[in-house]
Amino acid sequence: MKSAPSHARWAPWVFIAPFILIFCVFTAWPLVQSLILAFQQTFGPKSAKFVGLANFTFLLKDPMFWHAVRNTAVYAAGALFVQLPVALGLALLLNRPGLRGRAIFRLIFFSPSLVGLVFVGLMFFLLFQKRTGLINAGLHALFSSWDPEFAWLDHYVMPSLIIASVWLYAGFNMIYFLAALQNVSRELLEAAQLDGAGPWARFRHVVIPEIRPVAGFVVLLSVIGSFQLFELPWVLLDSGSGPGNSGLTIVMYLFQTGFLTGDLGYASAIGWVLGLILAGAAFVQARLARRETP
Amino acid sequence: MMRRFALVPVYTALVIFALITLIPFVWMLTSALKNQNDYFASFFLPRGDGWLGVAWDRLTLHNFRRLFTEFPIGRAMLNSWMLASVTSSLATLACAMGGYGLAKFSFRGRHQITSCVLGALIIPGPLLIAPGYKLLWQLGLLNSYAGLIIPSLAPAFGVFLFRQTMLNSVPAELLEAARIDGAGEFRIFFTIVVPLVRPMIGAFLLITFLGAWNNFIGPQIVLQSPEVFPLSVAINNLRGLYATEYGLIMSGTLVSIAPVMCLFLLLQREFISGLTSGAVKG
């Protein structure tokens, strides 16, 4: 039998009040508004006209939107297949028993995560310049056949973005992988070794199943983060979507239609489609996680 | 003996990755210290006949001087400090209070509010950009710090993080004992609960400070007058106008990231443990 609470009845409400107030005004209410806006055509915040599903039917046929979806998906694929493997690799290296200087390496790899996206964008804007940028110069010094005029930001916008994102996020995700690896049971690994399992077999059959929950979480966070990509390309491409919209992302398109064209209704429709994509990703991740744990 | 040599490839790989991570920082620092000619002539330090073949005397603080005299970067830096410290301290207080309320009290509606917190976690930020802008316009909060700060004061992610922490690390008996002794609810919160979750408070202060300091899209949308811009917007605008003055852009970026780097070095232990506690123990 639970005893009656000894605290005053108002106490919990006072503590939660700031959250409830701000949640209602700045999350719940805008959420409802965005649903209404998505069915309107607007010109700035002042005038609106109900247009039914027109925003959505137009969106599905809007080649710019699909172009943005494709770019964003390419970036997400880069996060999953380039950035996360690098993060896991760094974590595995740092998790080697007997390694010295682990704390300092961890600090170095993590340090880019402190740099805001704007500042990363500015740094890489200069790093990727033809001739004067360090990346072309370095590659030219290492491989003399490399063209120092290589136009990263004109013709290779997506690879540039993925390179910048590896520098920025690999160390951040490494922290999660490392924490998971340090929780892998020593006994299990030693038992596998006694049974004659080599390093690859131990990784495949002991380490991977043990870090799977954290890996799933990191993958989901990366996909969600990737689909909200905006600031990095916006700054890297000097406040624009790049030559031929080669760096246009979903949120950048939302920003452009909402604030440069002034149609908050269409921008909201884009927001809802993005929300559906993210909900889909979370759903798939939840299903996969359930299937893997019996 | 064997073991030590077995680690050689590991160290080699780690050092190569560490260099790749650090070189952009070094490049930024040296570029900020060079004049325009040396920026084009050399990639790191300018070559000359000084010690180690470097022209040390050609290093200059010219870019930094211009940044603070010709451009309103000093003002932007103050704006950033103000925005980030107000946002982070108030948000940490609101989130710690919310997490405490949800974790340590039983009352009707608790489950519904917890579901709201979890629901808010998965709402993508960009979805709220357009209606949020309209709302701030209706409330007359556009172009004001209030419009930038208030909406970010109680992030669901923070309430959730503190709820999880409080569940484990604040014993109910301690709270009961304090109540029997006649301590008021706020006194209990500030003198018993807050010290118990101190590491999370430190980590969360840093997370929200970084978030507010580095926020770009928020000020870009809410603020309109150049004198209220924080560093993120001011430095990007500087690049828009002076795209070829590389040393100037580099020094601007450097003064923008140096303060948070120092803050992090001071608090890093708490930060990294706070960051992973939710994910791993979860």
Look up residue B253 and give its two tokens.
């970026």
8 Å CB contact between A180 and A214:
yes
Look up residue B19 and give its two tokens.
């260099």
Q: Cα–Cα distance between A38 and B118 in angstroms, integer?
A: 24
Q: What is the pLDDT of residue B276?
A: 59
Q: Is B105 on the interface with A (CB under 8 A)?
A: yes
Q: Is residue A269 part of a domain?
A: yes
Q: Is residue A47 part of a domain?
A: no
Q: What is the pLDDT of residue A88?
A: 95
Q: What is the pLDDT of residue B36?
A: 78
Q: Cα–Cα distance between B34 and B270 in angstroms, integer?
A: 37
Q: Cα–Cα distance between A95 and A102 in angstroms, integer?
A: 8
Q: Cα–Cα distance between A92 and A181 in angstroms, integer?
A: 8
CA nearest to B20 within chain A? A167
- A211-222 pLDDT per residue, tens: 888 888 889 889
Q: What is the pLDDT of residue A173?
A: 93
Q: What backbone phi and psi angles, to 5 degrees, belong to A47? A: -120, 140
Looking at residue B227, its amino acid is E
Count how many pairs of residues, chain A against chain B, have C-beta atoms within 8 Å.
Answer: 262
Look up residue B43 and give its two tokens.
């990639």
How many domains, in total, are found in chain A?
A: 1
Look up the CATH number of the domain holding residue A257.
1.10.3720.10
Looking at residue A88, its amino acid is L
Q: What is the pLDDT of residue B2?
A: 54
Percent of chain A with pLDDT strictly greater than 90: 49
Which of A129-165 are b and which e, b meaning 16 or more Cβ less than 10 Å from the residue's Cβ?
A: beebbbbbbbbbeeeeeeeeebebbeeebbebbbbbb
Q: Cα–Cα distance between A112 and A207 in angstroms, integer?
A: 27
Q: What backbone phi and psi angles, to 5 degrees, belong to A43? A: -125, 95
Q: Is residue A271 part of a domain?
A: yes
Q: Is A23 on the interface with B (CB under 8 A)?
A: yes
Q: Cα–Cα distance between B123 and B157 in angstroms, integer?
A: 11
pLDDT-derived band at A182 (thresholds 50, 70, 90) equals confident
Look up residue B203 and give its two tokens.
């980590």
Tokens 């007359």: give the residue.
B140
Q: What is the pLDDT of residue B112?
A: 92
Q: Cα–Cα distance between B136 and A224 in angstroms, integer?
A: 26
Residue A4 has pLDDT above 60, yes or no: no
Higher per-residue confidence, A167 vs B126? A167
Q: Is residue A183 part of a domain?
A: yes
Q: What is the pLDDT of residue B277?
A: 56
Q: What is the pLDDT of residue A294?
A: 46
Q: Is residue A240 part of a domain?
A: yes
Percent of chain A with pLDDT strictly greater than 70: 96
Residues contacting residue A152 through CB under 8 Å, at least 6 positions apart: A128, A130, A133, A135, A136, A159, A160
DSSP A190-236: HHHHHTT--HHHHIIIIIHHHHHHHHHHHHHHHHHHHHT--HHHHHH
Percent of chain B with pLDDT strictly greater than 70: 93
Give the burial class of B199: count Cβ atoms within 10 A of its Cβ; 0-12 exposed, 13-18 middle, 19 or more buried: middle
Q: Is residue A49 part of a domain?
A: no
8 Å CB contact between B68 and B238:
no
Residues of chain A with Cβ-Cβ distance to B216 below 8 Å are: 116-118, 231, 235
Spacing of C-alpha A165 from chain mean position = 9
Q: What is the pLDDT of residue A51?
A: 84
Spacing of C-alpha A33 from chain mean position = 26
Q: Do B105 and A224 touch (CB under 8 A)?
A: no
Q: Is residue A18 part of a domain?
A: no
Q: Do A34 and B105 touch (CB under 8 A)?
A: no
Look up residue B248 and give its two tokens.
């100037």
Residues contacting residue A240 through CB under 8 Å, at least 6 positions apart: A234
Beta bridge partners of A47: A43
Q: Is B24 on the interface with A (CB under 8 A)?
A: yes
Q: What is the pLDDT of residue B282?
A: 34
Q: What is the pLDDT of residue A5?
A: 60
Q: Do A258 and B129 touch (CB under 8 A)?
A: yes
Q: Is A251 on the interface with B (CB under 8 A)?
A: yes
Q: Cα–Cα distance between A171 and A108 in angstroms, integer?
A: 8
Looking at residue B186, its amino acid is F
Q: Do A111 and B176 touch (CB under 8 A)?
A: no
Query: Could you say which of B21, B185, B215 has the minimum Cβ distance to residue A8?
Result: B185
- What are the residue ranges in chain B where pLDDT is below 70? 1-4, 53, 270-282
- A229-284 pLDDT per residue, tens: 999 999 999 888 888 899 999 999 999 998 888 888 999 999 999 999 988 988 88
Domains, chain B, with CATH or none: 2-60 (no CATH), 66-281 (1.10.3720.10)
End-to-end Cα distance, chain B? 40
3-state secondary structure of A59: helix
Residue A138 has pLDDT above 60, yes or no: yes
Query: Could you say which of B14, B216, B275 has the minimum Cβ distance to residue A93?
Result: B14
> Residue A43, Cβ neighbours under 10 Å: how many?
13
Please, what is the average pLDDT of chain A? 89
Spacing of C-alpha A217 from chain mean position = 12
Q: Is residue A263 part of a domain?
A: yes
Q: Is A220 on the interface with B (CB under 8 A)?
A: no
Query: Which of A21, A36, A91, A81 lies closest to A272, judged by CA?
Result: A36
Give the burial class of A185: count Cβ atoms within 10 A of its Cβ; 0-12 exposed, 13-18 middle, 19 or more buried: exposed
- Tell me which residue range forms the domain holding A65: 56-292
This prediction's pTM:
0.88
